Structure 1
């Protein structure tokens, strides 16, 4: 696992369940609201997008930036978390 925050460690260590998008590292209330408006209200919906993109981290980061106007660090944090979570759980 790459260098991680406590938020990422907590997220990766738990089942996906019905966590809100704001549970994802890099996604706070503002970006979470933008994702909700785009139809992604749960972390599992964002994970699904990551998997549909064949776990291509660079493409996914571009999608996060385009979808909710995330900056590079926010997109990187979210992508790294989903990569680590899917490596452990999928």
Structure 2
């Protein structure tokens, strides 16, 4: 049984707008800073990468690990968050 955090529920429960990177489940300050250094400064930009990878969860998780140094758990949580958000809003 998987559980979600309040952060996850808040993110997937409403439009993205201008949410910060750290609003994404699995992304905290350190990973957020690493992504900003890669040119991704908003959650919608990370969503864009997810969409460019055709919503392929495995490919996106690998990209996130490479881009930010996320571990497998962090990448999986972020991927699930973006997948659920895109299923609800796209």
Deviations 1:25-83 (A, max 9, x none): 00000000000000000000000000000000000000000000000000000000000
The runs of 4+ residues in structure 1 deviating greater than 4 Å are none
- Alignment size in residue pairs: 89
Name the TM-score, length of structure 2 as normaliser. 0.96
2:86 counterpart of 1:80: no
User: Deviation of residue 3 (structure 1)?
Assistant: 3.1
The match for 1:16 is: 16
Where 2:3 maps in the other structure, the secondary structure is coil
Question: What are the residue-to-residue correspondences of 1:11-50 with 2, within 5 Å?
Answer: 11-50=11-50
> What CA RMSD, in Å, does the superposition of the two structures yield over aligned residues?
0.8
Structure 2: gaps spanning 5 or more residues:
none
Name the TM-score, length of structure 1 as normaliser. 0.96
